[in-house]
Each structure stands twice: as structure tokens, then as C-alpha cells.
């Protein structure tokens, strides 16, 4: 999926430090490098967009103050229709933005389409970049080149009901095996509760099980990828996840088609004792029946003391190759994606910063964030950076795999073999241009 800009008015000297007064870089795309005029910015519209818009307005005002003769015009676009709108902009430079927010799984496809500018040289001397989370940096990297800057990250951990655990004398599970045992024990004692809400259409909950067992969904082969979801280690992870479906925890008849949002809703509404959910799900829990009766810990790994690798979601900012204001666009990108901006975005919206030092300060200010910060520090993972992933995702390859197993239509070996064939076909058809 896809995962969710800002800053107080800052002094001109600080803006210089983040690149607003950096030497002009040569135009690197088919657009141009005008020093005045209007910059167009497309950002994602949030459910409650007012706090985001307020900090963006402040950041834009600070940027305009240090760039005479320059205006930045911000438009908020729906996340759901971003793909069509951004790809249309690639084909019509006259209506295209200069700076755009995009999901981190969109990077490779947009690079393949020729829409994003290579910012490797522009960002090489950016001081803020030294503290970027490695997983977040990888999300803007294709073939060793940077095509943007991470704006925010999102990661999942284990929510659990403190009241239920206290009444049943349980402790937060320390391993994945203990997680499964705890889920069974809760459901046996409270048949009306899912021990752990799981979804057959919840790919980002299944992936940590695969990674924790030493597997992966694919590996890099030259300029493309090859599916590994049918390797022994990956199959062990799939088996561990799909074993959570059944009358002992989360019946397949109800849970096989559940999505990530469904599992969040199940927990928030009091129908589950545990759920794998994101830092961005916090408000849903606070608005639900479980308010004041839950806590969060990192999802455990296969051994006590280990954290299962989580999927690193998030959003990035990029500059379009067609921009006629390349240097200005890069300067504005650094302002919007810089440390000060991300710290203010966290204060306003609760989005996790992509900078490790800013994130540590966020955890100090709001203890709720600490389990998610620990999860990221332990090493988050992502899906293959290739345009083929969009086709694999749209084709529901991994959810189909999971549903075939939990429904009993296929065993793990057959389902993963079928998924690997579909993935390899997508990798062959949708590779990056050389």
C-alpha cells in the first residue's frame, strides 16, 4: 500500500543550511532551470488535512521569503487516484507539478516511466540526508540513484488488550510461536474474541512472518528479480502465518478475506485481543472501544529478544523531470522533506520522521511511538523496488496465495509455487529500462 509536510517559519540562515541557498545545479532533465515564477506542488490529501495544510503553508511562506520572485502553489490530491493523475502529468508537462508526493512503492514504476528527476548529485551534500533511515533511503533509490527524499515512514507492530491479558494472566508474546499460543489461549477462554485478528488479504502482516523465518518474496537478479516465495524459508513463514487461521483463533470463513483495515477495525471495536497494525492506526484505536485498554510492543521474531522485520511503508517527495524550475524545485523539496519539516509533521499529524535522530526525539516526546521506533531500528524491509511490483500487487498474487492455503484449496507448496510463477511472469514483463 501505500502509505501519509510542514515546518514553522524559519530564518533564512537555517534554510541555507538545508539547501535553500545552495549553489545552482545545472538542469538535469528536459524541463529547464528558471530562477523565478510559480512552482506547482502536489501533496496527498489526508483524512484530516487542515493540520498538514497549516504547516505546509508556513513552510511555503518561509521558502518564498528567501526566494524573491518565486511562488509555490500547493494542490492536495486524493491518494486513491494518485497513479492516474501523476502518470497523466508525466505525459503533459504543461499541467504537471514541479514537486510531487508519492508512495514509496511507486518509485520504480515512476522511474521506469521517465517521470522523476535523478537527484543523486543534488542531494549528495545535503546535511540532513546523513541521518536518513536506511530503509527509507532505499525507497527512493533505483539502480544506485536517488529519485527523491523520504518524507515520512510507517511501520507496524503488535497491539494487545491490556485488560484481557491482565484478566487471563498473560504476558505480551516474546516469540512468534508464543504469539500463536497466546492467540489460541485467548480464543479458548473468550470464544467471542479473535485471539489475534489476521487477514488473508493483509499482505503486510504476512511479510514479517516470511522475513522472520529467513525468507523473502523475491531476490535481485541483474536488472530484474526472481521470486523466492516458494523457497523453504519463505514457506516456513507462510505456514506460520496461515496457521493462525481457523476455529482456534480467527475462522477462515470470516478472516480469509479480511484486509489490514479490517483487522484494525476488529481490534478497535473490541472484537480481537491482538492485531498487527501501524503507528498510523493509533487514532483509530483511540476513537474505538479499546481506548485506554491497550498497549503496543514490537512484533516478536522467531527467538526471544528478536523483532520480526516489519514492512517499511511511507511517502516520498520527488521532482519531475519536466520541471522548468529544477533548482528551485530541489530547494523546495529539501525544505518540505527536511528535519525541521518532518519534526513539525510529526507534531501536527503523528507521522513518523524518516530521520533517525528526529524519530528518537519524537519517541521521547510521545512514548507511544517507542515500539515503532524500536521496530524500525531493528531493520525494516520493503518489497522489491521494481515496476513489476505494481502488477503483482494489483493482481492480488500474495493475498490469493494466502487465501488458497487458509481455505484448504491448496497446500503451502502448491500455493507458493503458483504465486512464484505469476510473480516471475510480472518480473519478466515489467523490468526497468536499461
pLDDT digits (tens, 9 = 90+) for 163-188: 999 999 999 999 999 999 999 999 99
Can you say how many angstroms the Cα of residue 275 is from the centroid of all Cα atoms in its chain? 18
CB atoms within 10 A of CB 243: 16
The CATH number of the structural domain formed by 156-310+388-429 is 3.40.190.10
pLDDT digits (tens, 9 = 90+) for 44-97: 998 788 999 999 999 999 999 999 999 999 999 998 788 889 989 999 999 999
SS3 at position 191: coil
The Cβ-side half-sphere exposure at 111, using a 13 Å CA radius, reads 26
Which of 49-53, 282-286, 411-415 is modeled with the greatest confidence? 411-415
Mean pLDDT of 387-411: 94
Does residue 218 register a pLDDT over 60? yes
pLDDT digits (tens, 9 = 90+) for 113-168: 999 999 999 999 899 999 998 889 999 999 899 999 999 999 999 999 999 999 99
Angle between helix 397-407 and helix 203-212 axes, rounded to 10 deg:
80
Q: How far apart are CA 87 and CA 113, in angstroms?
A: 8
Q: Check if 12-154+312-379 and 156-310+388-429 are the same fold.
A: yes
291 in Cβ contact with 285 (< 8 Å):
yes
The per-residue pLDDT of the chain, averaged, comes to 90
pLDDT of residue 21: 38
Q: Which CATH architecture has domain 12-154+312-379?
A: 3-Layer(aba) Sandwich (3.40)
β-pairing verdict for 37-44 and 99-103: parallel
Angle between helix 232-242 and helix 397-407 axes, rounded to 10 deg:
60
Q: Give 431's pLDDT tier (boundaries 50, 70, 90).
A: low
For residue 277, the cross-strand partners are 157
Per the structure block, which three cell numbers stand in for 222? 541483474
Q: How far apart are CA 377 and CA 373, in angstroms?
A: 6
Can you say how many angstroms the Cα of residue 299 is from the centroid of all Cα atoms in its chain? 17
Per the structure block, which three cell numbers stand in for 190? 473468550
Phi, psi at 412, each rounded to 5°: -60, -40
pLDDT digits (tens, 9 = 90+) for 221-269: 888 899 999 999 999 999 999 999 999 999 999 999 999 989 999 999 9
Q: How far apart are CA 352 and CA 359, in angstroms?
A: 7
Rg of the chain over Cα atoms, rounded to whole angstroms, equals 22
User: Would you call 219 exposed, middle or buried from its count of C-beta atoms within 10 A (0-12, 13-18, 19+)?
Assistant: exposed
Show me where the domains of the chain are located: 12-154+312-379, 156-310+388-429
Model-level pTM? 0.82
Q: Give 390's pLDDT tier (boundaries 50, 70, 90).
A: confident
**C-alpha distances in Å from residue 223, one per residue of 80, 133, 389:** 29, 24, 14
Angle between helix 203-212 and helix 260-268 axes, rounded to 10 deg:
100
- Helix, strand, coil % over all residues of the chain, rounded to 5: 50, 20, 35
pLDDT of residue 30: 59
Amino acid at each position: 500500500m501505500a502509505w501519509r509536510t510542514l515546518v514553522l517559519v524559519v530564518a533564512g540562515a537555517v534554510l541555507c543550511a538545508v539547501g535553500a541557498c545552495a549553489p545552482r545545479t545545472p538542469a538535469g532533465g528536459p524541463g529547464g532551470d528558471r530562477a523565478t515564477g510559480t512552482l506547482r506542488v502536489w501533496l496527498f490529501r489526508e483524512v484530516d488535512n487542515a493540520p498538514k495544510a497549516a504547516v505546509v503553508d508556513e513552510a511555503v511562506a518561509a521558502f518564498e521569503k528567501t526566494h524573491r520572485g518565486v511562488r509555490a502553489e500547493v494542490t492536495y490530491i486524493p491518494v486513491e487516484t494518485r497513479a492516474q493523475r501523476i502518470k497523466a502529468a508525466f505525459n503533459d508537462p504543461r499541467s504537471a507539478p514541479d514537486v510531487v508526493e508519492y508512495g514509496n512503492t511507486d518509485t520504480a514504476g515512476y522511474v521506469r516511466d521517465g517521470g522523476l528527476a535523478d537527484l543523486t548529485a543534488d542531494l549528495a551534500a545535503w546535511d540532513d540526508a546523513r541521518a536518513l533511515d536506511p530503509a527509507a533511503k532505499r525507497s527512493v533509490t533505483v539502480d544506485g540513484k536517488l529519485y527523491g527524499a523520504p518524507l515520512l515512514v510507517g511501520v507496524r507492530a503488535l497491539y494487545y488488550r491490556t485488560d484481557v491479558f491482565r484478566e487471563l494472566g498473560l504476558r505480551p508474546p516474546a516469540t512468534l510461536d508464543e504469539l500463536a499460543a497466546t492467540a489460541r489461549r485467548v480464543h479458548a477462554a473468550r470464544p467471542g474474541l479473535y485471539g489475534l485478528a489476521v487477514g488473508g488479504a493483509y499482505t503486510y502482516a504476512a511479510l514479517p512472518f516470511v522475513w522472520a523465518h529467513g525468507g523473502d518474496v523475491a531476490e535481485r537478479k541483474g536488472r530484474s528479480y526472481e521470486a523466492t516465495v516458494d523457497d523453504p524459508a519463505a514457506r516456513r513463514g507462510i505456514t506460520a502465518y496461515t496457521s493462525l487461521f481457523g476455529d482456534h483463533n480467527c475462522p477462515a470463513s470470516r478472516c480469509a478475506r479480511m484486509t489490514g483495515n479490517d483487522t484494525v477495525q476488529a481490534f478497535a471495536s473490541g472484537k480481537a485481543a491482538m492485531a498487527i497494525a501501524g503507528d498510523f492506526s493509533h487514532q483509530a484505536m483511540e476513537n474505538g472501544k479499546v481506548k485506554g485498554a491497550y498497549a503496543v510492543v514490537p512484533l516478536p521474531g522467531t527467538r526471544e529478544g528478536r523483532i520480526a522485520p516489519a514492512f517499511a511503508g511511507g511517502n516520498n517527495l520527488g521532482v519531475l523531470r519536466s520541471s522548468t524550475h529544477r533548482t528551485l524545485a530541489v530547494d523546495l523539496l529539501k525544505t518540505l522533506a527536511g528535519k525541521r519539516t518532518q519534526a513539525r509533521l510529526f507534531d501536527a499529524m503523528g507521522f513518523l520522521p524518516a530521520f533517525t535522530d528526529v524519530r528518537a526525539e519524537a519517541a521521547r516526546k510521545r512514548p507511544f511511538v517507542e515500539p515503532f521506533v524500536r521496530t524500525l531500528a531493528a531493520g525494516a524491509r520493503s518489497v522489491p523496488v521494481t515496476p513489476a511490483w505494481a502488477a503483482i500487487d494489483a493482481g492480488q498474487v500474495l493475498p490469493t496465495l494466502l487465501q488458497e492455503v487458509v481455505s484448504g484449496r491448496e497446500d503451502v507448496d502448491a500455493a507458493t509455487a503458483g504465486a512464484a510463477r505469476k510473480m516471475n511472469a510480472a518480473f519478466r514483463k515489467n523490468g526497468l529500462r536499461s
